[in-house]
Chain A
Amino acid sequence: MQGVAVPVSMVAGNSFIHRLNPIAKLVWVLAVLVISFATRNPLFLIALSIVGLGLVTMAGIWRQFSRVMLILLPVATSLIVFQSVAPAFPQPWTPIATIGPFTIYQEGIYSGLSLLARATSMTIFALVMIMTTHPSDLFTSLSRLHVPYVLNFMLAMTLQLIPVLQREIGVVMSAQKSRGMKSTGFGAVIPSFVPVFAGAIERVQQLSISLESRAFGSSGHKTSYRQVAVRPVDWVVGIAGFAFLAVCIAVFLNTGALDMSRTLIFPPALAIVLVAAAAVLFVGFIASAIWVVIRA
């Protein structure tokens, strides 16, 4: 368990995106979140994702980014598999092909593809923000926006606790192994939960005493050590985020959210290939995950 690191953390760098004000980035992340939920048009969402990948290139974080996506993407492809046979879409459904007991529907492919693209676009933008922003800068900026300090602190602490808990699980599991308890697989993890969480509670109690002893929760004026600059370009980028959101919403309102569920027709061959590829990715990922757990 040595050296377990949070997989999603900041990647040091000095790109334009790294230097951008955290709030400007947050505006874009939230804008993309809203936009992604406002439309089901897969082409639009895929285009948005490609823009996001452009940002990944700009920030120079491909290596760390792809490591996270390698885990998330196969999980997300299950959307295509399940949606194609059971669309989250109003009936009637148009069958495309039948494989054994399963029938693949036109609406299912559309729905699965749009859900996948929706998840992907949101994830990409969020990851770009997380991987280019020092958490302290984000929290400092948020507190400037009058987000309550305590809320900020809770978020920051949660991030801090992840590696600590990972390490403690390792310690507890080693201790249990040394006393002859089951040491591999999922069965070994369950009994270590109680000591780990008991330890976490003790830690939090001690921390709260330590924090209070350092005037945490003082009612007076607070200052901030981290200084986050707000340059004109940050304003431009932030306002552009709002503008983009406004334009997209306006377009969606006027065009029925760019609905293409009846116009985007998938030929049977393409549909089958798509579903099969998604199934292989998803099942392959699950199988390898199970394999890792069994072997551990």
Chain B
Amino acid sequence: MPSERAPIIEFDRVSFQYAASDAYALQDISLTIDEGEYVAILGLNGAGKTTLELCINGIIPNMVMGDLEGEVRVAGVDATDTPVREMAKTVGIVFDNPEFQMSQMTVAEEVALGLENLGVPYEEMRGRIADALAMVDLVGFDERMPLALSGGQQQRLAIAAVLAMRPRILVMDEPTSNLDPIGKQEVFEIAARLNRDNGMTVVMAEHEVEVMARYADRVIVLDGGRIVANGTPREVFAQRELLERIGLRPPQATELALWLRDGGAGWTDLLPVTADDAVTALETRLAGVAR
């Protein structure tokens, strides 16, 4: 991670309790995310992933009832005390059900909605809509009906609608949970591209461990509203006991290496987290054995 990166999201001892619940959804979360980072948030359902993400653009506590303690600072602003519509200029958020995010008659109007709300002039709006649709490979879809698109296309549209507003942070809440494998792949690639090419900070809650191992700079594991692991994919996925205890599995490549290590194969190298890592590591070892 280059050292010039500055923190853009800071959680300081944040706890949150939903109004209807007597348990804490988040407990004492302290966390710093730098600009340009790709952070994966892992955890079972109910671990607090969504709650954590909703704090980033102030939906919690501004739109969701409950008790929030601690401080959330996003791009230098107190997110707990800024209206969501103000935060929208910095933070774009995409949810799990694409259809529930659609409200307009045409694709272009869906993307335009946020820009209209920000008062972007018409000419600039057209350019931004074209750019956003190009970024998510929906060129030529302008006049289609959002509800008539496939799930994957709808989710890409939801991303475009957020991108057109030029946020610095893209927050995604299980964006692929309603999509087929192709749709999942498309969404992951767009997020990776935005992070890599545009330097956008990406915070993604996901269940797809393999994919997160491949793309994320950092993995944060939540359990019962607490951060139980926070580090590079390699650091986090090496903690097999911890992951097993909370019901998560490391990526298959890591599991394979852990088996080899525990089975006495004497794996002392770094643990691989992606298939490519594993292939490289195994090839090196096999070459050593052959010699």
Contacts and interface: CB of A to CB of B under 8 A. Distances in A.
Interface of A: 134-136, 153, 156-157, 160, 163-164, 202-203, 206-218, 220-227
Kindly list the 6 A-B residue pairs having the minimum CB-CB distance in the complex, ordered from nearest. Answer: A225-B112, A214-B114, A215-B117, A206-B100, A215-B88, A210-B101
Nearest to A202: B100
B85 A224 contact: no
A227 B106 CA distance: 14
B116 A223 contact: yes
A206 B86 CA distance: 19
Contact of A226 (B54, B109, B117): B109
Interface stretch (B91-99, B248-256, B270-278): B91-99
Contacts of A156: 103-105
B85 A216 contact: yes
A136 B101 contact: no
B234 interface: no
B118 A215 contact: yes
Contacts of B114: 214-215
A220 B91 CA distance: 18
B95 A209 contact: yes
Contact of B59 (A136, A202, A213, A217): A213
A136 B95 contact: no
Contacts of B79: none
B88 A213 contact: yes
Contacts of B99: 164
B94 to A, nearest CB: 9
Contacts of B95: 206, 209-210
Contacts of A136: 104-106, 109
A207 B116 CA distance: 17
B132 to A, nearest CB: 12
B108 A225 contact: yes
A223 B122 contact: yes
Interface residues of B, number: 43
B288 to A, nearest CB: 52
Given A153-B103, A214-B88, A222-B117, 5 more contacts: A207-B101, A208-B63, A215-B88, A223-B125, A225-B109
29 contacts: A134-B105, A135-B105, A136-B109, A153-B103, A156-B105, A164-B99, A206-B100, A207-B103, A209-B54, A210-B93, A210-B100, A210-B103, A212-B59, A212-B85, A213-B84, A213-B93, A214-B114, A214-B161, A214-B165, A215-B85, A215-B117, A215-B165, A216-B85, A216-B113, A218-B85, A218-B117, A222-B119, A223-B119, A225-B112
B107 to A, nearest CB: 11
A216 B115 CA distance: 10
Given A209-B59, A212-B59, A213-B59, A224 B116 contact: yes
Contacts of B117: 214-218, 222
B122 to A, nearest CB: 6
B207 interface: no
Nearest to A143: B116
Contacts of A223: 115-116, 119-122, 125
Give the one of B97, B116, B118 with max A CB within 10 A.
B116
Give the one of B59, B63, B84, B122 with max A CB within 10 A.
B84
Contacts of B85: 212, 215-218
B101 A206 contact: yes
Contact of A220 (B59, B97, B105, B119): B119
B103 A211 contact: yes
A223 B100 CA distance: 24
B72 interface: no
